[in-house]
Amino acid sequence: MKLITYSYKNSIHIGAVVGDKVVDNSGNIDIPNNMIEFLAAGGTANNAMQALIESGSNRIPLADIKLLAPIPRPGKFLGISLNYADHIAETKFEKPEYPTFFTKQSSCVIANGEAIHRPIVSEKLDYEGELAFVIAKRCKNVPIEYAHQVIAGFTIVNDVSVRDWQIRSPTWMLGKSFDTHGPMGPWIVTADEINDPHNLKLKTWIDGELRQDSNTKNMIFNCYEMIEYLSKAMTLEPGDVIATGTPSGVGVKMKPRGYMKPGQIAKIEIEGIGMLSNPVIAEPFVSIF
């Protein structure tokens, strides 16, 4: 299934995409109208959604809805650094002995089609095309051989990074968490539809120029190893999102630098999932105090 969160007639819904239609869950008491609650409901909600798909009813044209981020405010939004061999080569850093994670604040999440803001305070705005997985169930101390069982599905994340702010802190958190710097979507493809998450083509374009062209097989630490490692430290919960790192081709390593600029469009395509596309604009000045 392709699970989505969307807006239709001024209300927010959970549904599934089938071709050019959306399967709407309105009125189905077995399908929560919130993605985190849907994932937490497990088989009951999944079976109800599958039955709705098979019924052929409750269809809305995809063109009539507004896609939102599949999980607009994940409880945890984590990324892993230096997880592709080709990216390590271009950065000239050493291969990490252990997975190194950082936090992206959930307030940075935006949907497919929404604008990435180039901040007023920096022009060093970079892209990072990444596969992300979504946690299905509350879990702790997950053995690696069972890790696949706690993944609800996969989506695409652009781990947008403000490079000068990133290096100001060893945790990287500020440079990874500016408003609008967590594009996610366009949907979650359930794990049963991804035969091997560690053999998917990944490409990133900036204004039609191919910048990243790799495969998830080049990960240093795979999805299951990440789950085993993270769950030793913290309880993972339904709707947590973990971005799995980016391959080579980031703007900061281009000569001249290939930072994103207002007027450009960032597109990321991952085999078996789809395409995440976001325009870049100058940050509108907003003061809230």
Contact 202, 212 (CB under 8 A): yes
Model confidence at 189: pLDDT above 80 = yes
Who's near 232: CB < 8 A, 6+ residues apart?
Answer: 141
User: pTM of the entire structure?
Assistant: 0.96
Asked if residue 142 lies in contact with residue 231, where contact means CB atoms within 8 angstroms, the answer is yes
**Under 8 Å between Cβ of 258 and 123:** no
- Asked which of 167-171, 195-199, 240-244 is least confident by mean pLDDT, the reply is 167-171
pLDDT one-digit tens code per residue, 229-266 = 999 999 999 999 999 999 999 999 999 999 999 999 99
Does 121 have pLDDT greater than 90? yes
- pLDDT > 70: percent of the chain: 100
Nearest-5° angle of CA 96, CA 102, CA 108?
Answer: 145
**Which domains does the chain carry?**
2-68 (no CATH), 77-282 (3.90.850.10)
Please determine, for residue 58, whether its predicted confidence score (pLDDT) is greater than 90. Answer: no
**What was the pLDDT predicted at 25?**
82
Q: Which residue has the higher pLDDT, 151 or 24?
A: 151
Is the pLDDT at 94 greater than 90? The verdict is no
Please give the mean pLDDT across all residues of the chain.
95
Q: What is the pLDDT of residue 285?
A: 86
Q: Give the pLDDT confidence score for residue 93 in this predicted structure.
A: 81
**Whole-number Å distance between alpha carbons of 173 and 276:** 23
Alpha helix ranges (H) inside 117-235: 163-166, 173-176, 223-233
* Predicted confidence (pLDDT) at residue 28 exceeds the cutoff of 90: no
Please give the residue that has the higher pLDDT: either 156 or 33.
156
